[in-house]
Structures are given as C-alpha cells and as structure tokens.
C-alpha cells in the first residue's frame, strides 16, 4: 500500500470533518468506482469519523480501506439505536467488503408474549417466529429488550419463567416477593385477572399507552377514594413505569410497508433529492441525488422532473411521499400505475408519522446539500470574497454572527456563533439568557480597573424589544472581552518596575478573541443599536454588517446594511451570498435550539412551585383534588377553598397568583 494513497485517503476524510456534527447516524465509505467499502454507525458521527484520520493506531485492514476511500456519505438519525437498525439493513443489502462485526446476519431481538399457555409468558425472542404468540419489535439492541422486559414485569407482573419451571412451582418464587410477577403458578391471581394484565401489556406495546394510562389513573383514583391505598399505590407505580418501557424508533415505521420518501432541498442553483426506501415496514437505506438547474426554477418543477426520470428505471412502490406539492400529481400517478401494474399514490403528508418521516428525509437533504456546497467552494475563497464585499482591511479569521429568539419576550435568548478558516468554531459558540434587568443606564467601572470606555450594565428594556435584547447581548459580550483584555494587559505590562503596580490599558496589544467582522441578523434598527453599544465601548473599529431577510422573507433576497452606506442586495447566485446565508442560518438554528430548550424546561416545571406558601403537603392536596397543576390554575376561588388543608387566605393567594 503506497503511503501516498493512505495520506490521500486521510485527507479526504479530514475534509468531511469540517461539516460533521455530533449527531447519531450512519456513514458509508466509497472507492473510486462508487462501490461501498464500509458501512458504520456512530453515536456521534464526528467523533467516530475523526478516528480514521489517525491511521497509525488502526489495523492494516482499516488502513487499506482508508487508502481506497475517495468519498463518504452520511445519514443522520435521532438515536444510536436507529443508527444500528439502519446500519444492519444497509450491510445486508450492500454487503460492503470491509464490514466484519454485523456480517453474521444475526436477527434483531423481539419481545414475545407467548399464548401457547393459559398463563402467557413474556420473554426475549430472536430468530424465526415459530412459537404462537404476539411479537413486538424489532429492537435495536438486546439491552433495550432487557430494559423493556424489566419495566414490563414491574408494570404488568407477567411471568418470565419457562413452562417447565412454572409447572414445578409449589410456592411463589423471588420474582413474586420483589413484586415483579403475580405468581399465577400458585394461583395468587385468577386466570381472568392475569388475562387482563396480558391484554394491557399487549395494548401498551401496540402503542395504546395513553388510553391505558387513563384507565389506570381512573382505577387509582377509585382505589384511593375507597381508602385502598396499597392498591392505589400499585396503580401509581404501574403508571410511572409505563414511560420507561419502549424506546422511540422512527427509522422503522410499521405503516410504511412499501413506500419511497422523496424530499428535496434547493440552494445555490443546486438541488439535493434524498430518496428513502421503506419495504416491509423497514428502512432499507437512502441515496442522495444532486441536480443542477437554473436558480429561478421552482422546487416543485424540479421534483416533477426528477420523479419522471428516476422511476423510468427504478422500481416504483405503492406510495411515494413528497415534501412538496406537485402540479402533475395525477399524471404521474397514472403513468406509474400503468408501468407497474398496481396503484401508485403520490402524497404530501401534512401531519402525523408520515410527515415526521418526510421531515427527517428533508433534514438529510438539507445537510447533504450543505456538505456538497462546502466541498465545492473552499472556505478560504469565501472569506476572501467577504473581505472584498465589505471592504475589510484583511481576510477575516474570526466572524461572529448574532441572533435573538423569543416568543413575545418570553424565554428570550441571544446566540453567538463563530466561523473562521476552519469552518464553524463550535467551541466558541455562546448563548445569552436575556435578563430583562431594569437597571439605570450609566457608567460603571470595576474597582482598580481602567478601561478606555465605560463597562456598561445590561440596559433596561421591555420584554419583546429586539433592539433592547441585541443591546444587552452586545454589552455583555464585549464588556467582558474588554475586562479580559485589561486583565491580560495587567499581566503583560503591569510588572514593569512601577511601585504602585497599577494596571494600564495597552492599545498596542490586541484584545483577545475580538472578531474581524460582526454579522447581525437584522436590519437598520438592529445595526444602529449595535453601533451605539460598540461606540460606547470604544470598539467602533470592528466592522458591523446587518443581514435582513428579503422580500417575503425569501432566501436570496437578503439586504445588507453597513454603517453610513445605503443597503444593497447581491445576485441570487453569488457564491458569497450562499456563504453568508449559511452563517445566518447557523446562528438562527443555534438561537432557536437554545430558546426551545429553555422553553421546554420551563414547561416541565410545576407551576405550583411558583406560589409562595405552597409546600409539599398543600401541593399534594391540590393535585389530588384537581388532578393537575393546569386544573388548579383555572380553578374558581370557591373550588380552591373546598380543598382540604387549603384555608381561605391561601386559596385567595393561589387564585390571585394565577390571575396576575
């Protein structure tokens, strides 16, 4: 194996690392002939792929594979379990030469409720489905089966023992003592009651958990009202255990028996079409197709043209799910039906599980196209174009991009992403929780600290004020940068023999981690706000650019705002526009993700915790009486007063708290 081939393979893999994230997924390594050399799965794609860039630590076989690699393909999944399922399907189909671990064709494990006995057994099953019973799966890993069985036993108390062990029992075993079995072997439960438990377990594994939880909650309340607290506690524990039983597996969806999922995404006069193939309710993998076209061509026309060409040779399934509506839907359905001899339906789902699958395919199309665009235009070339576009003194090595996200001022966050010569610098990303502090504006200096401009406190503003939020984010970010600069300069110039050792600001030393260019997601208003903050902090020399969404908020019509210049737009096919759009989209994604996480955390908190004077006992009484915190929030004053342990004064406090 020539060293040059190995180095070339390593360089190929390193190029993909710039755009890979830490999502779970599946990767494929291809040779010059387009053959798949290897299919692997990873909990974090980037961490897994980076290991191939250190061939000295790998075996000779893997080094030979790297030397043959000229391209890689990636599929992101929601979880590692899904990646494992998809990896196995692809290995069975593609039979890559360098795969070893999963070539044994071992079947996926299932959960079996065997019905060949009057007291059905619950157990793990792998292999042919010859035993009479109900099968649930497949599961991605045997560990998931064991975890599910453990939860099922705790919840439904079904027996895990074999028939021979069952028939030999004369007294309850340990499983009964630790409340993991109802002991039907010694008639601790009737056959009818056991059949009810089996029915409930089967119903839950079929996806009817919500209905089952409602039934158990009703029985729990009935037992509690009858003061049968031990039985009520049993129902409570069963309800609690239900949420831990079944892992989410969006890769394999039972309703997709014979379906192709076609999702397209356009950008930069190029479209990526991702086709996912589902057969027998299983995902048999995907393939990306890249189409060149005029930038004015609508996406639905691109998809129509692709479908008519693709299914000329490819086998056509009974249904094709699309992410866009197409005008020639009926025409294509008729043509495909005549070609295949069976009815073919084209569908653009708007909700439900099918919509989730289409969204997943669309996400993969977006990511694949982004990687393709990054590969086709070097980052260095883009940065040079940015320098020329904005008249910068040098090629920017650090670009910071800012955006805010909130819902009418609630759960407001600011986001900063950083990009440079190596792409996105994710360890430099920062998020800001908007504090909304009503502080007086004015000069504030740190004790024994001299700066060329006042370090400003976060300003006062009302919730939902985008300008105020932007002002707070920039004040906090660059005030801190100036503090760090002064501390650094204290270390570098403070020990120069002066008796007082006082710190001074050294303008000849550059501030640490200050950007060469700042991009703001916004127009003239946001730009003016940021300009004022930077001027007050003595950082007016840092170039600022506002990027406002274009007419109808369409990509490609963005307007650029620079200080003391008229706003302008770029041609829709300008490569530097695509680069700036990617920066803007990345900060938008980061801001939205941060906002949603903050919102979700707030939603899961119990609103009763916010009411002063409500401790554990009163909260329990309220929840038992009304059933939920939401019901307490909407309760009338008289209803609150009727709760045992809640005085009129406390009831009034709760009532007024939720009504402002």
* Strands 71-76, 25-30: pairing kind: antiparallel
User: Is 583 found in the same domain as 538?
Assistant: yes
* pLDDT interval class at 504 (50, 70, 90): very low
Question: Is the residue at 234 inside a domain?
Answer: yes
* pLDDT interval class at 60 (50, 70, 90): confident
Dist CA 257 CA 314 (whole Å): 18
User: Is 338 found in the same domain as 284?
Assistant: yes
Spatial strand order of the sheet with 282-292 comes to 282-292, 270-279, 258-267, 319-322, 345-347
User: Is 454 found in the same domain as 305?
Assistant: no
User: Is 519 found in the same domain as 416?
Assistant: yes
Tokens found for residue 655? 């009532």
Residue ranges of E strands in 517-655: 517-521, 544-548, 559-561
C-alpha distances in angstroms, 425 versus 18, 50, 515, 542, 589?
9, 16, 13, 19, 15
Q: How much is the pLDDT for 264? A: 92
Dist CA 332 CA 310 (whole Å): 12
User: Is 411 found in the same domain as 516?
Assistant: yes
Question: Is the residue at 99 inside a domain?
Answer: no
Span 626-640, mean pLDDT? 82
Residue 420's DSSP bridge partners are 423
- The last residue of one of the domains, among 242, 277, 302, is 242
User: Is 360 found in the same domain as 440?
Assistant: no
Question: Is the residue at 102 inside a domain?
Answer: no
* pLDDT interval class at 348 (50, 70, 90): very high
Residue whose C-alpha is closest to residue 322's, from 262, 403, 247: 262
pLDDT exceeds cutoff 60 at 378? yes
* pLDDT interval class at 451 (50, 70, 90): very low
The tens digit of pLDDT for each residue in 174-185 reads 889 888 899 999
* pLDDT interval class at 141 (50, 70, 90): low
Question: Is the residue at 500 inside a domain?
Answer: yes
**Upstream peptide bond of 123 is cis (omega within 30 degrees of 0):** no
Q: How much is the pLDDT for 491? A: 46
Q: How much is the pLDDT for 30? A: 92
Question: Is the residue at 575 inside a domain?
Answer: yes
Side-chain half-sphere exposure of 489, counting CA atoms within 13 A = 21
Best mean pLDDT range from 248-262, 294-308, 421-435: 421-435
* pLDDT interval class at 291 (50, 70, 90): confident
DSSP 420-478: ETTEE-GGG-EEEE-----PPP-----TT---SS--PPPPP--TT-HHHHHHHHHHHHH
Count how many domains the chain has: 5
* pLDDT interval class at 486 (50, 70, 90): low
Q: Which long-range contacts (CB under 8 A, 24 or more apart) does 3-7 make?
A: 5/67, 5/68, 6/55, 6/63, 6/66, 6/67
pLDDT exceeds cutoff 70 at 269? yes
Could you tell me if 62 and 2 are in contact, meaning their C-beta atoms sit under 8 angstroms apart? no
User: Is 414 found in the same domain as 537?
Assistant: yes
Q: How much is the pLDDT for 138? A: 52
Residue whose C-alpha is closest to residue 131's, from 110, 116, 144, 146: 116
Q: How much is the pLDDT for 502? A: 34
The domain in which residue 179 lies consists of 112-242
Backbone φ and ψ for 65, nearest 5 degrees, come out as -65, -45
Could you tell me if 247 and 139 are in contact, meaning their C-beta atoms sit under 8 angstroms apart? yes
Question: Is the residue at 450 inside a domain?
Answer: yes
The tens digit of pLDDT for each residue in 155-207 reads 888 999 988 888 878 888 888 988 889 999 998 999 999 998 898 888 877 65
Span 374-388, mean pLDDT? 81
pLDDT exceeds cutoff 60 at 248? no
Residue whose C-alpha is closest to residue 268's, from 58, 573, 567: 573
pTM, entire model: 0.40
* Strands 319-322, 258-267: pairing kind: parallel
pLDDT exceeds cutoff 70 at 444? no
DSSP H helical segments within 30-79, as ranges?
Answer: 45-49, 60-68
Residue whose C-alpha is closest to residue 48's, from 25, 70, 67: 25
pLDDT exceeds cutoff 80 at 471? yes
Q: How much is the pLDDT for 660? A: 64
Question: Is the residue at 303 inside a domain?
Answer: yes
DSSP 231-245: HHHHHHHHHHHHTTS
* pLDDT interval class at 487 (50, 70, 90): low
- The last residue of one of the domains, among 242, 267, 294, is 242
Q: How much is the pLDDT for 529? A: 93
User: Is 618 found in the same domain as 542?
Assistant: no
Q: How much is the pLDDT for 56? A: 84
Dist CA 237 CA 556 (whole Å): 55
Question: What CATH number corresponds to the domain at position 625?
Answer: 1.10.150.20
The tens digit of pLDDT for each residue in 16-26 reads 998 888 888 89
Q: What percent of the chain has pLDDT over 70?
A: 79
Span 114-123, mean pLDDT? 92
Question: What CATH number corresponds to the domain at position 317?
Answer: 3.30.420.10
User: Is 425 found in the same domain as 474?
Assistant: yes
Element (H, E) at 589: helix 575-604
Question: What CATH number corresponds to the domain at position 39?
Answer: 3.40.1440.10
DSSP 193-221: HHHHHHHHHHHHHTT-HHHHHHHHHHHHH
**For residue 307, with 0-12 CB atoms within 10 Å meaning exposed, 13-18 middle and 19 or more buried, which class applies?**
buried
pLDDT exceeds cutoff 60 at 79? yes
Dist CA 539 CA 475 (whole Å): 11
Neighbours of 52 (CB within 10 A): 25
User: Is 651 found in the same domain as 598?
Assistant: no
User: Is 506 found in the same domain as 586?
Assistant: yes
User: Is 303 found in the same domain as 191?
Assistant: no
Question: Is the residue at 133 inside a domain?
Answer: yes
- The last residue of one of the domains, among 602, 622, 639, is 602
* Strands 258-267, 282-292: pairing kind: unpaired
The tens digit of pLDDT for each residue in 311-340 reads 766 678 889 999 999 887 887 888 888 778
The tens digit of pLDDT for each residue in 93-111 reads 777 877 643 333 445 577 8
Question: What CATH number corresponds to the domain at position 427?
Answer: 3.30.420.340
Q: Which long-range contacts (CB under 8 A, 24 or more apart) does 196-203 make?
A: 197/156, 197/157, 197/158, 198/113, 198/120, 198/156, 198/158, 200/156, 201/113, 201/122, 201/152, 201/155, 201/156, 201/158, 202/113, 202/134
């Amino acid at each position: 194996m020539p060293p040059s081939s190995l180095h070339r393979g390593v360089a190929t893999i390193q190029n993909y690392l710039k755009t890979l994230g830490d999502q779970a997924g599946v990767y494929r390594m291809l040779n010059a002939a387009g053959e798949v050399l290897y299919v692997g799965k990873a909990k974090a794609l980037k961490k897994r792929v980076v290991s191939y860039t250190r061939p000295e630590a790998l075996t000779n076989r893997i080094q030979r594979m790297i030397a043959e690699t000229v391209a890689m393909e990636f599929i992101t999944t929601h979880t590692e379990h899904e990646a494992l399922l998809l990896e196995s399907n692809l290995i069975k189909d593609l039979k890559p030469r360098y795969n070893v671990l999963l070539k044994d064709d071992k079947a996926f494990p299932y959960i079996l409720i065997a019905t060949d006995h009057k007291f059905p057994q619950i157990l793990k099953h792998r292999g042919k489905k010859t035993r009479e019973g109900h099968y649930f799966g497949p599961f991605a890993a045997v560990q998931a089966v064991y975890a599910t069985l453990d939860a099922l036993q705790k919840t439904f108390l079904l027996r895990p023992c074999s028939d021979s062990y069952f028939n030999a029992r004369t007294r309850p075993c340990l499983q009964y003592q630790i409340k993991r079995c109802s002991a039907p072997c010694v008639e601790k439960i009737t056959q009818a009651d056991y059949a009810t438990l089996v029915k409930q377990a089967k119903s839950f594994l079929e996806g009817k958990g919500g209905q089952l939880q409602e039934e158990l909650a009703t029985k729990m309340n009935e037992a509690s009202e009858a003061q049968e607290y031990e039985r009520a506690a049993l129902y409570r524990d069963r309800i609690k255990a239900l949420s831990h039983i079944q892992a989410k597996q969006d890769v394999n969806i039972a309703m997709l028996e014979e379906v192709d999922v076609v999702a397209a995404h356009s950008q930069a006069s190029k479209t990526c079409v991702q086709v996912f193939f589902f057969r027998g309710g299983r995902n048999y993998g995907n393939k990306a197709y890249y189409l060149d076209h005029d930038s004015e061509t609508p996406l639905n026309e691109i998809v129509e043209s692709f479908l008519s060409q693709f299914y000329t040779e490819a086998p056509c399934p009974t249904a094709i799910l699309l992410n866009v509506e197409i005008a020639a839907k009926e025409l294509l359905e008729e043509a495909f039906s005549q070609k295949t001899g069976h009815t073919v339906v084209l569908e653009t789902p708007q909700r439900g599980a099918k919509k989730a699958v289409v969204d997943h395919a669309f996400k993969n199309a977006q990511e694949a196209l982004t990687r393709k665009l990054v590969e086709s235009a070097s980052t260095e070339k883009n940065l040079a174009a940015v320098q020329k576009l904005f008249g910068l003194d040098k090629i920017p090595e650090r670009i910071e991009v800012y955006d805010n996200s909130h819902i009418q001022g609630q759960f407001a966050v600011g986001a900063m992403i950083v990009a440079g010569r190596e792409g996105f610098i994710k360890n430099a990303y920062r998020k800001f929780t908007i504090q909304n502090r009503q502080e007086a504006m004015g000069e504030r200096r740190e004790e024994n600290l001299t700066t060329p401009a006042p370090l400003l406190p976060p300003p006062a503003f009302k919730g939902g004020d985008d300008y105020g939020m932007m002002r707070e984010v920039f004040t906090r970010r660059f005030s801190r940068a100036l503090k760090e600069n002064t501390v650094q300069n204290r270390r570098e110039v403070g020990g120069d023999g002066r008796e007082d050792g006082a710190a001074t600001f050294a303008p000849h030393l550059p501030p640490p981690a200050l950007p060469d260019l700042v991009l703001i997601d916004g127009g003239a208003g946001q730009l003016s706000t940021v300009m004022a903050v930077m001027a007050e902090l003595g950082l007016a020399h840092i170039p600022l650019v506002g990027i406002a969404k274009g007419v109808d908020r369409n990509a490609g019509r963005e307007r650029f705002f620079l200080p003391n210049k008229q706003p302008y737009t770029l041609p829709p096919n300008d490569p530097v526009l695509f680069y700036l759009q990617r920066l803007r989209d990345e900060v938008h994604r980061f801001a939205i993700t941060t906002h949603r996480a903050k919102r979700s955390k707030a939603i899961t908190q119990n609103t009763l915790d916010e009411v002063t004077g409500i401790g554990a006992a009163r909260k329990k009484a309220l929840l038992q009486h009304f059933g939920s915190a939401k019901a307490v929030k909407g309760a009338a004053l008289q209803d609150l007063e009727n709760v045992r342990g809640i005085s009129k004064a406390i009831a009034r406090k709760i009532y007024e708290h939720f009504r402002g």
